Amino acid sequence: MSMARASALLDRAVLAHRQQRVLRAGVLASTVAFLWLVVLAGGSLHVVVSAGLLVLAVLAALMPDSSAPLFLVLGLAGRWWVAVPDAWSGWTLAAAVLLLAVHLASTLGSYGPPALAVPGDLLRTWGGRAAVMLAVTALVWLVAGLFTTLALPGSVPVLAVALGVVVAWIALLGRRLVTRDGD
């Protein structure tokens, strides 16, 4: 990133609306909380990785409409995968909430320039959407807990079906991302 572009980014951040500053601070705060959650869930604190993720969080806060939030979310999820033991717990649900917070704060921050305040009715709509996403997540968490408690064994056909579902999902999403609507 050139000095001129960095300077322009900082200028825009200074002129940001108060609501945008709260959203971007939310990205940073959720990242810090997630890294702390990893420790609480039984993982270790890796200073270098954590510092790198915090730098990504700062970039995501400054440029929510860039790829920085994507790498941040994947990085945090990857950190969870590597650091946290394979166990179902309440921390998992909390981690999902924090990842969603990073995602939604970045989404709301990318509706326009930093000086834009997202209208109140749109914020309320997103509040409802977040509630739906969290409700489904909580349901999946409960079902996952049931599977873990019952210690159901995995099998090749089940794995194949699951992989098939995932591949189909990826194909559908890939087509959606490539196609331009309304041309």
Partner 1 sequence: MSTRQAAASPGPALTTAGWRPTASLVRAALTSAALATVAVVFRRVDLLVLATPFLVHAAAVVVRRPQRTPRVTSRLGHTALREGEGTTLSVTADAGDAEHVVVALEREPWTAFRPSAGVAGAATGGADRVEVRLAVATLRWGRRDVGSGVVAATSPWAGGQWGPHRLPSHSLTTLPMPAVYDGRAPVPHPLGLVGTHPARRAGDGTELASIRPFAAGDRLRRVQWRVSLRTGTLHVTSTVAEEDSGILLIVDSSVEVGTSGGTTGTASSLDVAVRAAGALGEHYLHRGDRVGLRVLGAAGRGVVPLGSGRRHLRRLLDTLARVVPGERHDLDPRRFRVPPGTVVVVLSPMLSDQVVAATTTLAQRGLDLVVVDTMPDDLDAFADGPRDRIAWRMRLLERAALLDRVRRAGVPVAAWAGPGTLDEVLRGLSRRARQPRMVRR
Q: State the residues that interact with partner 1 by CB under 8 A.
A: 15, 17, 64-67, 69-70, 73-74, 77, 80-81, 84, 86-89, 92-93, 95-96, 99-100, 103, 106-107, 110-113, 115-119, 121-122, 125, 129, 132-134, 136-137, 140-141, 144, 147-148, 154, 159, 162-163, 166, 169-170, 172-174, 176-177, 180-183
Q: String of b and e for 94-128 (b: at least 16 CB within 10 Å)?
A: ebbbbbbbbbbbbbbbeeeebeeebeeeeeeeeee
- Give the dihedral of Cα atoms 66, 25, 16, 117; nearest 10 deg: 90
* Closer residue to partner 1 (CB): 54 or 100: 100
Cα(78)–Cα(76) distance, integer angstroms: 5
Backbone angles phi, psi at 48, to 5 degrees: -65, -45
* Closer residue to partner 1 (CB): 45 or 163: 163
Q: Which of 34, 20, 24 is nearest to 74 (CA)?
A: 34
- Residue 25 CB, nearest distance to partner 1 (Å)? 19
Q: Residue 80 carries which side chain, given as an amino acid letter?
A: W
* Closer residue to partner 1 (CB): 45 or 87: 87
- Residue 178 CB, nearest distance to partner 1 (Å)? 9
- Residue 104 CB, nearest distance to partner 1 (Å)? 9
- Residue 62 CB, nearest distance to partner 1 (Å)? 14
